[in-house]
Amino acid sequence: FTGPFEVSLQQLNDLLTDDSGFYSWPTKHFHEVYPRIYVGNHRRRCSMHAGEGEFKRLGITHILNAAEGNSFMHVNTNAEFYAGTGIVYHGVQASDTDHFDISVFFEEGADFIEKALAYKNGKGKIYVHCREGYSRSPTLVIAYLMLRLNMDVHTALAMVRQKREIGPNDGFLRQLCRLNQRLAAEGKLWNK
């Protein structure tokens, strides 16, 4: 399947790196990568227990933890952690490895982000995080932009990268390429 929708891993990595081929580490704990969608790391969680601090100030209504779990690679928060904060929580148990199939969470993640943004007649704000806000969480946000806003993978990836330094692993990038091919074949991408 070739043509304008054929996307290579190299092309995506080129969008993520600078002219010398280097990736950058995020400069801030979180960034607003699309109106009302924030991508960040898990360090914020301590400061906003019981809805205090940063999340309250930002008006975050929903949290998507792309790294739910107990291992050192994961962030051990759950719905209970946010009980009483008024924040709607959703977690997916993704691992940040090349061979992990994160695409099984693409629809589920997109649904949750869509619901969050529609909350209170479009007043919702969502914080999507993993451990570092570098690979898992941006991957789910990019999938949302493709699935719900009909962006092709280049546009979605470039948009998020413009706002935050990210570096989804090659396995995740391949899965986004496959999603791009599927959506292209179904005639669901608006540009190109």
Active site residues: 130
Burial of 165 (0-12, 13-18, 19+ CB in 10 A): middle
Q: Is 67 helix (H, G, I), strand (E, B) or coil?
A: strand
Half-sphere exposure in the Cβ direction for 34 (13 Å, CA): 24
Q: Do 151 and 143 form a contact (C-beta atoms < 8 A)?
A: no
Q: How far is CA 79 from CA 45, 88, 89, 163, 191, in A?
A: 13, 8, 5, 28, 38
**Residue 169, token pair as written in the block:** 């692993």
List residues bridging with 40 in a β-sheet.
Answer: 30, 129
Block residue for tokens 């989804």: 168
